């Protein structure tokens, strides 16, 4: 397909921008060869602002014009938007993980009348089954533990449940029960609404280790790392390996490895009328504080972004604005975004800041 001519700019534009952090920054959008290509920030946290329109022009995101007009750098890295988030009744989507050939998502009941659920669909977006969980928690995350064949989901009060992964592939079932229940790893993971309580806002598996994290609106959040050991179905042990601080407003976290480099990916959002942030840092186990003192690349994205999950070179992103209760928010978004991670980390590789 012949590409459309990219929109040209003939001047250098300077301005002041503010994203969802506690401080503002100065930026300068520099026109190169007639195109705005990069935003430079003095605090090393780079917002990508290069209008790479291939995905849009090739029809991948046709029909989502708001996504292009408001979030061009983010949308230009989208590989697929065809999968629709499963919404039933008053359920609100939260978590997402990839398990082999399947996508698993979590939702809680906004009305508070029913237990939380896990939906299973194929990778082409076909709905397969739903499973009612044995708890009514916020289920802010879900993680497939391939080594131990478990599915991890946050429970209440800083605890997590582990489910047999194969139970979510038994399509004759409608309910599942945890084989390891109420594992308490929440010490220090404070609930943002009630600091006297602990709460696990999200979790993920990386290098066969479990990462659990807290959400904070203003102050930094916290992530704790555990190694996992299982015996029979009555024995499981988690060994604490360390912790590190993360930015505020983190709703989900995952990791990406490219050759010999590792990256940590944060989805950050709060509120139905504020854009989300997808932020990527280089990852190292020795780093104990991911903040503006480190170089990162940041993309603004539609509001209400929740968990992010990696599958090969593709990043899956789910938004809770798909829920019926959030109709009328700034960015009603009912698709699962699949982004090309090579394109997402490209600014860090090229150090375009």
| Least confidently predicted of 24-33, 81-90, 225-234 | 24-33
| Least confidently predicted of 94-98, 118-122, 289-293, 347-351 | 347-351
| Least confidently predicted of 249-263, 274-288, 339-353 | 339-353
pLDDT digits (tens, 9 = 90+) for 4-43: 333 332 232 233 232 333 333 333 333 322 222 333 333 3
What is residue 41's predicted lDDT score, i.e. its pLDDT?
36
What is residue 233's predicted lDDT score, i.e. its pLDDT?
59
| Least confidently predicted of 156-160, 247-251, 286-290, 346-350 | 346-350
Q: In what order do the strands lie in the sheet with 45-47?
A: 45-47, 296-301, 276-282, 261-268, 250-258
Note if the pTM is more than 0.75. Answer: yes
pLDDT digits (tens, 9 = 90+) for 311-325: 999 999 999 999 999
What is residue 64's predicted lDDT score, i.e. its pLDDT?
60
Say how far residue 214 (Cα) sits from the centre of its chain: 14
* Helices then strands, each counted (H, E), the chain: 4, 24
pLDDT digits (tens, 9 = 90+) for 123-144: 999 999 999 999 999 999 999 9
| DSSP-derived 3-state class of residue 246 | strand
Sign, CA dihedral 142-146-151-156, equals negative
Confidence of residue 330 (pLDDT cuts 50, 70, 90): confident
């Amino acid at each position: 397909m012949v590409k459309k001519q990219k929109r040209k700019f003939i001047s250098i534009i300077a301005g002041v921008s503010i994203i969802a952090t506690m401080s503002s920054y100065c930026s300068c959008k520099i026109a190169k060869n007639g195109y705005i290509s990069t935003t430079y920030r003095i605090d090393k946290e780079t917002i990508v602002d290069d209008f790479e329109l291939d995905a849009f022009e090739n029809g991948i995101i046709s029909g989502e014009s708001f996504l292009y007009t408001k979030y061009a750098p983010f949308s230009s890295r989208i590989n697929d938007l065809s999968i629709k988030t499963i919404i039933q009744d008053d359920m609100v989507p939260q978590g997402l993980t990839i398990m082999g050939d399947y996508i698993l998502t979590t939702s809680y009941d906004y009305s508070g009348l029913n237990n939380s659920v896990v939906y299973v669909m194929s990778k082409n977006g076909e709905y397969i089954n739903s499973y009612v969980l044995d708890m009514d928690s916020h289920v802010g995350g879900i993680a497939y533990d391939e080594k131990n064949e478990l599915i991890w989901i946050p429970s209440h009060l800083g605890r997590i449940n582990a489910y047999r992964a194969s139970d979510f592939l038994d399509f004759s079932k409608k309910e599942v029960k945890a084989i390891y229940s109420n594992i308490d790893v929440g010490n220090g993971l404070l609930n943002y609404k009630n600091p006297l309580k602990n709460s696990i806002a999200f979790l993920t598996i990386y290098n066969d280790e479990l990462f659990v994290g807290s959400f904070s609106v203003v102050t930094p959040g916290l992530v704790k790392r555990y190694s996992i050991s299982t015996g029979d179905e009555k024995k499981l042990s988690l060994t604490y390996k360390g912790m590190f601080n993360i930015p505020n407003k983190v709703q989900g976290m995952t990791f990406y490895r490219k050759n010999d480099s590792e990256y940590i990916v944060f989805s950050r959002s709060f509120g139905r009328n504020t854009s989300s942030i997808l932020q990527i840092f280089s990852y190292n186990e020795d780093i104990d504080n991911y903040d503006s003192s480190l170089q990162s690349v940041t993309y603004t994205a539609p509001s209400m972004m929740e968990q992010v999950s990696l599958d090969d070179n593709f990043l899956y992103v789910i938004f809770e604005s798909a829920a019926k209760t959030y109709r009328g928010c700034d960015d009603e978004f009912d698709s699962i975004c699949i982004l090309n991670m090579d394109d997402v980390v490209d600014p860090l590789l090229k150090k375009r800041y």
